A and B are shown apart, each in its own frame.
Chain A
Amino acid sequence: MTKKIFLIALVISVPVLFTLGKEMDSQDNDQEKVVLELKLPKPMFVGTPRNIRTSNLERITGKKRGPFLVPKGTELLSFNKPVTGSDPEPVIGEMEFVTDGEKSGEEGYFVELGPGVQYVQIDLESSHHLYAILIWHYHSQARVYRDVIVQVSDDADFITGVKTLFNNDHDNSSGLGVGKEKEYIEVNEGRLIDTRGVTARYIRFYSRGNTANDMNHYVEVEVFGTPVK
C-alpha cells in the first residue's frame, strides 16, 4: 500500500515539479536584463615621470638561476666557431662577436642585424650532443626580444632534419610555427635553454626586433655539449 501511494505521489509530483521549474525558468528569462554597472577605479594623475637615457645593469626580476646539471665531459663548443646570418652586412659589429667569448653589455660587444625576422647561425663544424645553450641578446637595458626561436639541424640550409628547441613566437608572427615558451626579459646572466642532448652541427637563432626598437642584437651565444663518438 505504502509503495503504491509513493508511486502515485511520484507520478503526480514529477510533472508538477517539471512544470513549476519551467515556469520559474521562463520568469527568469522574461526579466529585463541590464548591464551590471561596475565602479572601477579611475587612473591617478601624476607628474612627468623619470627620464631614463642611461643603461641600467641591475637585474630586473626573478631569482638567481640555480645550478644546471650536464653530463660529465660537457664543454663549450661554440667558442670562435664560424657564424653566418640572414643579414650579411650587420648594421653594427661583426658576426664573429657572437662566439668571441665577450659578454659585456657595453657598446662594441654586440652585433646588430636589421629589422624584421633575422637569424644568426653557428657552425660547430661537426655533429655534437648538445646539452645547454646560453643566449645574450642585449642586456644593458630592460628589453624583451620578440619571437626568439632556436633550431638545430645537420643541414646548413635548415631544410631537412630541423628541430626546434625553443620558440616563444606565441602568435606565429615570424611564420615558423606557434611557440609554447614565454617571452623573457634580457638580464646579464643570459637565457639558458635546456637542449636535452639533441644531436646537431648547426644552430640557428631567430628574433624579430625587441621592445626598445625593431633591430636584432646578439652579444654572445654559448653552446655546450659533447662530441658524437
Chain B
Amino acid sequence: MNKKAACCWLFLLVVLGGLLFRLIQLDLRPMHHDEANQAVKFSRLLEQGEYHYDRTEHHGPSLYYLSLPFAWIASGTSFSALTEVTLRLVPVIFGVGIILLFLLLKHSLSLEAAVFSGLFAAVSPALVFYSRFYIQETLLVFFLMGAIASGWQYLQKRSLAWAASTGFFCGMMFTTKETCIVAFGAMFSALLLTHFSLKKSFRSDDMPRMPQASHLLVFLGTGVLVSLLLYSSFFQNPKGILDSVLAFGTYFSRAGDAGFHSHPWYYYLKMLAFSQYGNGPFWSEALILVLAVVGGFAAFRPLSNGEPSPFFLRFITFYTLFATAVYSFIPYKTPWNMLPFYIGFILLAGYGTVFLFTTSKKLIFRTIVILVIGSGLFHLGMQSYSANITFCADSRNPYVYSQTSPDFMHLVKRINDLALLHPDQDQMLIKVITQPDEAWPLPWYLRSFGRVGYWQEVEGAGEFTDVPLIVSSLDKTFRLQPALEGNHILEYYELRPEVLLALHIERSLWDIFLKKQSEK
C-alpha cells in the first residue's frame, strides 16, 4: 500500500471514529434550555409547515429546515414522537461533515495534515460536545469550512461551480447564525493580510489572481439567493429578509451588553488551555493549541521552491488570529461561540504536526514527537469520553454551560408516572408557574401533554385546588402554597445548579400513586 492509500484509509478510520464519538448515548444528557427552545421553535415548522424568522431569538432558519429530513424519516410530522436522538443527529452529521471537508484541503495543507486535523477534530472534547448539541454552532462551522474549502478550490480551478459552491456555503453561514459576520470579517481581513504578506515575499508569483467578474456575480448571486429563500421561509414570510438585516442591530447591542454572559477576554483560551472546577478532573486541549502555534509559525518560514504555496496556510493563520481576537474581545461569551475560531486551531495543528515530523529526520526527535502527540491524542480522547458521557451534565465540565441537571429527569419521570394514573392521562391539566428562564426545557419534555399552561405569576394562573400537577419556581412556590389549601404534596427537583423547581401533586392523585407503589 502506498503512502497516499494509507492516508486515505487512515482518514476513513478517523471519520468513523469521529462519528462513533459523536453518536454514543446521544440521549444521555438532558435537553439544555437552548436545545429545547430550538426544538419547540422547530415543532411549528414540522407540524404546520410554518416558520417565521425572529430577529431577537433563535438565530437563523437553516437548523430548522435541515432538521426536517431527519424528523420525517424518524417520526413523520409528529412533534410528540420526535426524540432527542433525532434532533441531535443533525449536528452530529454536520460535525462529521466538518472532518470530511478537510479532504478538500489536501492540496493546500497536504493529505497528511488533513488526516491529523481530522484526527484532532474527531476527538477534540469541545468539538465533540457541541456536535451533540442541538444548536446552530456546529452547522455554522460546517458551512464556514465549506466556504473556505470551496473558496480554495475555486482559486485553484477557477470554475463557475466552485464559485457557486463558495457562494452557497457563505449564504448558508448567513442563514445559520448572525455571528457569521465575525467569520466573514475575519476571512476578509485574513485575505487582505495574506495578500500583503506574500506580495513582499520571494514567492509573490504564488498569489492567486483576482476572480473574474462573472464568477464574482455567481458567487454573490448564489449566496444572496440561498439567504433570500431561507429567511423568507421560501417566500411565505418576505418580512424575514428585512429582519435578517435588522437582526444585526439586536446582536450588536447584545454583544456589548452581555449581562450574566459577560466573561473576561481570556475566557475561551483559558478554557481550552486548562480548566478545573472544584474536585473535578482537569481539562486541557493545550496539545491542539501548541501544535497550532507550531503550524502558524511554520506558515511564515521562508519556503523553498519545491514546497506548496503558503497562501492557504497564512490565510488560515490570519483568520484564526482575527477570529480569536474578535470573539475574545466581545464581552458576550458562551463556550460554544469559540467553535468558529477553534476550527482554525484544529487545521493549523494538523499542519504543525506534519511540520514537526518532517522538520528533523533524527530518530530520537521523531520518537519524542510520536510519544508526545500519541499520548496527547489519547488524553484528548479520554477527555472527550468524560465530557460527553461521565460529565455530560456536570458543571465541573468546562463545556457544560447552564445545563439542565440530571435530577430534572426525575421530575419528568414523576409527571409521566402520575399521568398514567390520572383519568385524563395525557390530557391531564398541568400548570407551570415560573419565570421564562426557569420553564425550559419543560415544554420539550411535556410535548405529548395536551393541556399544559405556562404563567409567570401566580395571580394570573386561576384556580389551583383541583389541578393535578403544578410546577413552580421557588419564588412562586411560597406565594402559591396558601392558594393550594393543603390539597397538594410538595417535591423539589433541580432544574440547573442552584435552581430548584417545586412539583405540587394533588393529594388524591398522590394517594393513588402510593397505593400503586405499595402493590408493586
Residues of A within 8 A of B (CB): 35, 38, 40-53, 56, 60-62, 92, 107, 141-144, 170-172, 178, 182-183, 185, 211-213
Contact = CB atoms under 8 A, between A and B. Distances in A.
A46 B437 CA distance: 6
B431 to A, nearest CB: 8
Contacts of B279: 92, 107
Per DSSP, chain B at the interface is mixed
Nearest to B434: A43
Interface of B: 33-34, 37, 40-41, 54, 57-58, 260-261, 277-279, 334, 395, 401-402, 405-407, 427, 429, 432, 436-440, 442-443, 451-456, 474, 477-478, 489-494, 496-500, 510, 513-514, 517-518
Contact of B261 (A48, A172, A185): A48
B442 A182 contact: no
Contacts of B33: 48-49
Contacts of A170: 489, 491, 510
A185 B500 contact: yes
B466 to A, nearest CB: 13
Given A46-B437, A53-B497, A185-B492, A61 B474 contact: yes
A142 B517 contact: no
Given A40-B451, A50-B260, A183 B437 contact: no
B436 to A, nearest CB: 4
A137 to B, nearest CB: 13
Contacts of A92: 279
B402 A51 contact: yes
Given A52-B499, A142-B498, 17 more contacts: A40-B451, A41-B453, A44-B436, A47-B57, A48-B34, A48-B401, A49-B438, A49-B496, A50-B437, A51-B334, A51-B402, A56-B498, A107-B278, A142-B474, A144-B500, A183-B492, A211-B494
Listed from nearest, the 5 A-B pairs whose CB atoms lie closest are A40-B453, A211-B494, A144-B492, A46-B436, A44-B436
A211 B402 contact: no
A200 B177 CA distance: 66
29 contacts: A40-B453, A41-B455, A42-B454, A44-B439, A45-B40, A45-B41, A45-B436, A46-B57, A46-B437, A48-B33, A48-B402, A49-B33, A50-B261, A52-B395, A52-B498, A52-B499, A53-B395, A53-B497, A56-B498, A61-B477, A62-B478, A170-B510, A171-B514, A183-B491, A183-B492, A185-B474, A185-B492, A211-B407, A211-B492
B439 A141 contact: no
Given A50-B402, A61-B478, A43 B454 contact: yes
Contact of A41 (B34, B334, B454, B499): B454
Contact of B437 (A35, A49, A171): A49
A44 B58 CA distance: 12
B57 A141 contact: no
Contacts of B477: 61
A76 B88 CA distance: 56
A40 B500 CA distance: 24
A45 B493 contact: no
Given A142-B500, A212-B407, A43 B401 contact: no
Contacts of B401: 48, 51
Nearest to B334: A48
Contacts of B54: 45
Contacts, number: 120
B327 to A, nearest CB: 16
A211 B498 contact: no
Contacts of B334: 48, 51
A142 B395 CA distance: 14
A35 B498 CA distance: 40
A87 to B, nearest CB: 17
A178 B510 CA distance: 12
A105 to B, nearest CB: 13
Contacts of B453: 38, 40-41
Given A44-B456, A45-B58, A49-B33, A171 B517 contact: yes
Contact of A183 (B432, B455, B490, B497): B490
A212 B432 CA distance: 22
Contacts of A171: 513-514, 517
Contacts of A42: 443, 454
Contacts of A107: 278-279
Given A45-B58, A48-B261, A182-B490, A38 B451 contact: yes
A50 B262 CA distance: 10
A24 B457 CA distance: 42
A171 B443 CA distance: 26
B497 A141 contact: yes
B256 to A, nearest CB: 15
A183 B402 CA distance: 25
B454 A44 contact: yes
A143 B490 CA distance: 15
A51 B510 CA distance: 34
B439 A53 contact: no
Contacts of A60: 474, 500
A43 B513 contact: no
Contact of B440 (A46, A52, A172, A211): A46
A48 B334 CA distance: 9
Contacts of B518: 172
Nearest to B456: A44
A43 B439 contact: yes
Contacts of B58: 45
B497 to A, nearest CB: 5
A41 B402 CA distance: 25
A48 B513 CA distance: 35
* Of A42, A49, A56, A60, most B-chain CB atoms within 10 Å: A49
A211 B393 CA distance: 13
A211 B452 contact: no
B57 A35 contact: no
B28 to A, nearest CB: 15
A183 B410 CA distance: 15
Nearest to A211: B494
A47 to B, nearest CB: 6
Nearest to A214: B406
